[in-house]
Amino acid sequence: MTQPAIYQRVLLKLSGEALMGRRDYGLDTEMVGAIANDIRDVVAMGVQVCVVIGGGNIFRGVSGAASGMDRAQADYMGMLATVMNALAMQTALERRNVPTRVQSAIPMSSVCEPYIRRRAERHMEKGRVVIFAAGTGNPFFTTDTAAALRAAEMHCDALLKGTQVDGVYSADPRKVADATRYEKLTYLDVLANDLAVMDAAAISLARENHLPIIVFNIHAPGAFAQVMRGEGAFTRIVEAEL
């Protein structure tokens, strides 16, 4: 008998780089399809799913600012890149018969809905996947912070961050062979040790809203569904137990 999902409503945070596959830039349609398969399987478990995708595979605001662009202008360009990724994921999901809506924090009615909190909740209640695009709609905020914000607004049970590795490590395991993988951390552990999970604003927002953060490898087939059953390899970030 299949283990039931331990969460009923979750937000999945993906980096733009997760969609690149082996490419150096842009979208790998096979990788987008593989992630869409995993989301479809979780939706089939009866879990309500919303998604935030970064835009670093197309344009990264911080990099633009570092090369001399105005930071706010560069961040807006990065937000537009997230809309492109959201539309690509919507297409992949709908090809798999998963009803999906894209809501953008920057209104662009020709291609997607504006972000309306109660409408997004209603979509999820009807079994639709909602992809939140354009970050928070404001410069100087990352898509990690947008993910924590939307997860709190949607009253999600957990925020899942799909990464390139199977959890949080003391150092990059792809560069440091003896890096330690953590099974469980507190929000303060992440902040105090400057662990590269999410930016400080996102961690603080999750902490204030008692929102567990689950970090896992999005490229491991079926890992998303495994995490939903409490199985597989992942790191859980929660408040310290008294």
Within a domain: 65: yes
Per-chain mean pLDDT for the chain: 93
> What phi and psi, each to the nearest 5 degrees, are found at residue 161?
-110, 115
pLDDT for position 66? 72
Report the pLDDT averaged over residues 13-33.
93
Span of 58-67, 129-138, 203-212 with lowest mean pLDDT: 58-67
pLDDT for position 5? 83
Task: Return the CATH number at 145.
Answer: 3.40.1160.10
The string of pLDDT tens digits covering residues 85-120 is 999 999 999 999 999 999 999 999 999 999 999 999
User: Is residue 77 over pLDDT 50?
Assistant: yes
User: Is residue 172 over pLDDT 90?
Assistant: no
Within a domain: 4: no
CA–CA separation, 167 and 189 (whole Å): 14
CA–CA separation, 215 and 64 (whole Å): 28
pLDDT for position 2? 57
The model's pTM: 0.94
Report the pLDDT averaged over residues 123-139.
97
pLDDT for position 99? 98
The number of folded domains in the chain is 1
Within a domain: 1: no
For residue 157, give every residue at least 6 positions away whose Cβ sits within 8 Å of its Cβ, in sequence order, or none: 7, 8, 9, 10, 212
Host domain of residue 222? 9-238
Within a domain: 74: yes
The string of pLDDT tens digits covering residues 195-238 is 988 999 999 999 999 999 999 999 999 999 999 999 999 999 99
DSSP states of 23-53: -SSS--HHHHHHHHHHHHHHHHTT-EEEEEE
